[in-house]
Amino acid sequence: MSLARVVTFDGVTAGRIQKLRSEIEQGERPDDIPATEIVILHDPGSDRALAILFFENEDDYTRGDETLSAMPADETPGTRTSVSRYEVVIRATP
């Protein structure tokens, strides 16, 4: 069963999103964040963002969650306001 880690952030500027995009596109994903996919949504009007990371199984989720939860605040897109865990029950692409 796939799992998703969904995190909301406040105070996320367009500049910070651009920097994050560059970091993700140019860098390699750390081994201790075994996500199969990362989706980041941004509302520039309110400086809010939503990050969704997908994991294939519980072990991968736990390892990724522990690593991400331990990240220093200056390495996150903004101020983390919530972290939730979901089971991925439907996933479709056109």
Instruction: Pick 9 or 20 by higher pLDDT.
Output: 9
List all residues 6 or more positions away from 57 whose beta carbon is below 8 Å from its beta carbon. 1, 2, 3
pTM, rounded to two decimals: 0.90
Domain ranges of the chain: 3-87
In angstroms, the CA 10 to CA 12 distance is: 6
Distances (CA, A) of 50 to 31, 59, 79, 85: 22, 23, 11, 13
The secondary structure of the chain in percent helix, strand, coil, rounded to multiples of 5, reads 30, 35, 35
* 36 dihedral zone (left: phi>0; alpha: psi -120 to 50; beta): alpha
Check if the beta carbon of residue 29 is closer than 8 Å to that of residue 35. Answer: yes
pLDDT digits (tens, 9 = 90+) for 22-56: 988 887 777 799 999 999 999 999 999 999 999 99
Fold of 3-87: Alpha-Beta Plaits (3.30.70)
